[in-house]
Amino acid sequence: MYVAVKGGERAIANAHRLLADKRRGDREVPELAVEQIDEQLALAVDRVMSEGSLYDRKLAALAIKQARGDLIEAIFLIRAYRTTLPRFGFSEPLDTAEMAVRRRISATYKDLPGGQVLGPTFDYTHRLLDFALMATSNTEAPATAPHEPDVAMPRVTDIIASDDLIERNPPGVPGAEVADLTREPLSFPADRDLRLQNLARGDEGFLLALGYSTQRGYGRNHPFVGEIRLGEVEVELMVEELGFAVPLGDMTLTECQMVNQFSGSATEPARFTRGYGLSFGHCERRAMSMALVDRALRAEEFGEERKGPAQDEEFVLSHSDNVQATGFVEHLKLPHYVDFQAELALLREMRLEFTSKQNPETLEAAE
């Protein structure tokens, strides 16, 4: 007899209850606090803030806890929350030259004003499991140096620009509207502001793979890391009533400026070109990948042949968002039996036609 094969409300409620139980895990193990995630899984928090497009460490940590450590799920939670927030206004452009730098490295100059500052980095660590961390660690305090407020740390690209050896950034237009794909649907062709916004929210794995592909010849653009800098930048909001900008607080950012293959023309002398990456928090891999892809997407601007996926604007921008991607891939779990039924019927019909062509007698005998 027919059994109810379709899901009911009670089944859904019970599945969610079971999920909550699995999230908590063994009750003998202390529950993870949001503060612990924020402090000790800080790079996961940074990624969730970046791709969730919401600068809020506590909420990102909460999302990671709720998502059981599934970062794309956490990013989704943040996005769905973010979209309900009212928009008060737009901040003033951030000035990363004024960053309180914690890390700053350049691969193009051995030494430069402000020096190379390694900061907290996995670079040059030996990737050997540290079994001491199995137990509670007793970590020593970091080494410190006296604060030197007078040491300027100009951006490497500004140094190169002073010799006119790199393309100039287009002058900013005060009050100009900046594209916002969270308020306007993505449309093509996209300008660089829109592309950068898209990449800044894009999936780190996707950007990494695309950036990597440019290094392997699919849209090669000869990059050098001009500079990566990590630190805090003040965010300011212009308040019309007051007539001046008011500081809202500090934001941790990672900025990557790639210096790429030069180009020139009959009217312009040869210059290096730029690829730009920016991320909330400490996300060097994504900032670098973003810079590579940004440069690749500028192919047309420099009259380069577009032959790699990373240079294909529609391909990159339409598939970079992991919340969209995961939703659509995972929607295949939803029931499709109506469509499948239609395919079944067609398949049977086609097989019947095939059999009758191969073997007309059998069919007649069966009829």
Partner 1 sequence: MSAHRQTNSEPAYNFAYLDEQTKRMIRRAILKAIAIPGYQVPFASREMPMPYGWGTGGVQVTAAILGSEDTLKVIDQGADDTTNAVSIRAFFAKTAGVAVTTATEDATIIQTRHRIPEAALQGHQVLVYQVPIPEPLRFLEPRETETRTMHALAEYGLMHVKLYEDIARHGHIATTYDYPVHVAGRYVMDPSPIPKFDNPKMNDCAALQLFGAGREKRIYAIPPHTQVVSLDFEDHPFEATKFEHPCALCGATMSYLDEVVTDDKGGRMFVCSDTDFCEGRRAAGHHGHLYGGETLSKEAAE
Binding site residues, partner 1, CB under 8 A: 1-2, 4-12, 76, 79-80, 82-84, 86, 182-189, 314, 318, 323-324, 326-331, 334-339, 341-346, 350, 353
Nearer to partner 1, 33 or 329 (CB): 329
Nearer to partner 1, 182 or 355 (CB): 182
Q: Tell me how far, at minimum, the Cβ of 317 lies from partner 1, in Å.
A: 10
Nearer to partner 1, 266 or 338 (CB): 338
Cα 133 versus chain centre, distance:
29
CB atoms inside a 10 Å sphere around CB 320: 22
For residue 269, CA distances in Å to 95, 148, 165, 208, 258 come to 29, 39, 9, 32, 20
Nearer to partner 1, 216 or 331 (CB): 331
Nearer to partner 1, 109 or 340 (CB): 340
| CA nearest to 46, candidates 320, 291, 286, 325 | 286
What is the 3-class SS of 189-249, one letter each residue? CCCHHHHHHHHHHCCHHHHHHHHHHHHCCCCCCCCEEEEEEEEEEEEEEEECCCCEEEEEE
Q: Tell me how far, at minimum, the Cβ of 65 lies from partner 1, in Å.
A: 17
Nearer to partner 1, 218 or 224 (CB): 218
Strands across the sheet containing 100-105: 100-105, 224-239, 244-263, 271-280
CB 277, CB 249: distance < 8 Å: no
Q: Tell me how far, at minimum, the Cβ of 268 lies from partner 1, in Å.
A: 28
Nearer to partner 1, 27 or 331 (CB): 331
For residue 100, CA distances in Å to 85, 149, 237, 288, 339 come to 29, 10, 19, 20, 57
Nearer to partner 1, 219 or 231 (CB): 219
Residue type, 223: P
Q: Tell me how far, at minimum, the Cβ of 343 lies from partner 1, in Å.
A: 6
Nearer to partner 1, 115 or 327 (CB): 327
Q: Tell me how far, at minimum, the Cβ of 54 lies from partner 1, in Å.
A: 11
Residue 196: which residues within 8 A CB-CB, separation 6 or more? 276, 278, 290, 294
CB 325, CB 317: distance < 8 Å: no
Q: Tell me how far, at minimum, the Cβ of 331 lies from partner 1, in Å.
A: 3
Q: Tell me how far, at minimum, the Cβ of 248 lies from partner 1, in Å.
A: 22
Distance from C-alpha of 43 to C-alpha of 64, rounded to nearest angstrom? 11
Nearer to partner 1, 86 or 243 (CB): 86
Q: Tell me how far, at minimum, the Cβ of 320 lies from partner 1, in Å.
A: 13
Residue that the structure tokens 């047309």 belong to? 300
Q: Tell me how far, at minimum, the Cβ of 8 lies from partner 1, in Å.
A: 5
Distance from C-alpha of 12 to C-alpha of 251, rounded to nearest angstrom? 40
Residue that the structure tokens 């000790």 belong to? 40
Distance from C-alpha of 107 to C-alpha of 125, rounded to nearest angstrom? 18
Q: Tell me how far, at minimum, the Cβ of 164 lies from partner 1, in Å.
A: 36
Distance from C-alpha of 41 to C-alpha of 64, rounded to nearest angstrom? 10
